[in-house]
Structure 1
Amino acid sequence: MASSGARRRPLAVPQPDPALSVPPRVGEQIQRLRSERRMTLDDLSRAAGVSKSTLSEIERDKANPTIAVAWRLTTALGVSLDSLFAPPKTPEAITVAGPHDTPTLSGHDEKYQLRVWGPIDLAGKFEWYELILPPGGALVSAAHEPGTREHLTVLHGTLEIETAAIVKRLKTADTARYAADAPHTIRNSGKGEAKALLVVIHG
């Protein structure tokens, strides 16, 4: 029989998860989603039917949206309402994309093949590709936005780059750097397949 003077152990009180005690930064989430979709404040304001001033206050976490306003914003952004309040996922330290995860673009009549190595969220800012051209194949490009530059490194074979009425011939391991805000063409001038790394830095 236990002594009447024995002390009872205090009941363990569960501690709240610190992550759950911090409210989600809804405004920050909305701003991130809008930026990813390249929408301006005006674009999202019109699409969601929310005034620009209100949207600006929400994005700066100066005001909390009602459920109705949050629903209109998420609908305009193409995401579910619950995803807006979900805690952000911790990014993986290393992500690996296999061959089947790499999009490939083929030109008309298979005159070129572009393997998109850059992540989709950098499209329109910084892009890099593996360019494969059969003999006589060519990648013909219209002018990109002002200030855009391309960097072309030949990995195998022989290529020609033509821009502004100037033609330069490149061999394996050569790199050409040129303005891409004018029409330009990359052409395989050799007898075998050519392969190159193409980096596009948008202005």
Structure 2
Amino acid sequence: MRSEELVEVRLAERLAELRAERGWSLEELAERTGVSRSTLSRLERGEISPTAALLNRLCAAYGRTMSRLLAEVESGPPQVVRAAEQAVWRDEESGFVRRSVSPPHAGLRGEVVEGVLRPGADISYDRPPVPGLEQHIWVLEGGLEVTADGRAHALREGDCLRFRLWGTSRFRCLGSEPVRYALLVVLP
């Protein structure tokens, strides 16, 4: 597949994702843009290429510039992210270390994160960044208590917890050793 064809395929996929992220039907998007439902459907399936005017209408509906939209589709996410290239963020005050194992990409819905909490670490969040966020937490070493939407779960090495988060959450290291876990985050 030529590079231009690949961009068109990614653009069609991204436009469908943007509509799905907002929970809009094709009919609702048609009303917002003045573009027929059938044209939007064919565009999202990659059967037609958008004109600049059509793309501008869609960008206005999605609240983004055309350059941002095209940047999201012109280059795909890297296939391999070496450990030395993974972003690490440390919160010394709370005792939390976060490694972005697979950096998020605008065209993808999931990411893998490694978390490490030192003994005594206790972190609370008042809300999820995105309501309905799906999380899978797999404890690799140590013990972790995860409270999601008011329900506490004590996890030990090898345990995995899956949930959709709508409200508050809390992560607390159990025991006298650090806890290391993998977190898979999937956008709704």
The alignment's TM-score, normalised by the length of structure 1, stands at 0.57
Please identify the structure whose Cα radius of gyration is greater.
1
Work out whether 1:200 is the aligned partner of 2:182. no
Q: Deviations over 1:41-82 (max 9, x none)?
A: 999xx9xxxx6429x85973657737xx59979993226x9x
Work out whether 1:141 is the aligned partner of 2:125. yes
Name which of structure 1's ranges 122-131 and 186-195 shifts more when overlaid on structure 2: 122-131
Map residues 147-186 of structure 1 onto 2, 5 A cutoff.
Answer: 147-186=132-171
Matched residues, percent identical? 18
Q: Secondary structure at the match of 1:78?
A: helix
Residue among 41, 47, 51 paired with 1:65: 51
**How many aligned positions are there?**
169
Residue 153 to residue 29, structure 1, CA distance change in 2 (3 Å) = closer
Residue among 40, 53, 66 paired with 2:35: 53
Work out whether 1:76 is the aligned partner of 2:60. no
Residue equivalent to 1:113: 97
Work out whether 1:101 is the aligned partner of 2:101. no
Answer whether contact 1:102 1:117 (CA < 8 A) is retained.
Answer: yes
Matched residues in 1 for 2:175 and 2:117: separation?
10
Residue 179 to residue 24, structure 1, CA distance change in 2 (3 Å) = closer
Q: Secondary structure at the match of 2:176?
A: coil
Deviation for aligned residue 1:149 = 3.3
**CA-atom RMSD in angstroms:** 4.6
Residue 77 to residue 157, structure 1, CA distance change in 2 (3 Å) = same
The alignment's TM-score, normalised by the length of structure 2, stands at 0.60
Matched residues in 1 for 2:161 and 2:140: separation?
12
Matched residues in 2 for 1:155 and 1:35: separation?
36
Please tell me the residue identity of whatever aligns with 1:159.
L
Large movers: runs of 4+ above 4 Å = 23-30, 32-43, 56-59, 61-64, 69-75
Residue 141 to residue 127, structure 1, CA distance change in 2 (3 Å) = farther
Answer whether contact 1:57 1:63 (CA < 8 A) is retained.
Answer: no
| Residue segments in structure 2 that go unaligned for 5+ positions in a row | none
Please tell me the residue identity of whatever aligns with 1:76.
T
Please tell me the residue identity of whatever aligns with 2:142.
G
Residue equivalent to 1:187: 172
Q: Secondary structure at the match of 1:109?
A: coil
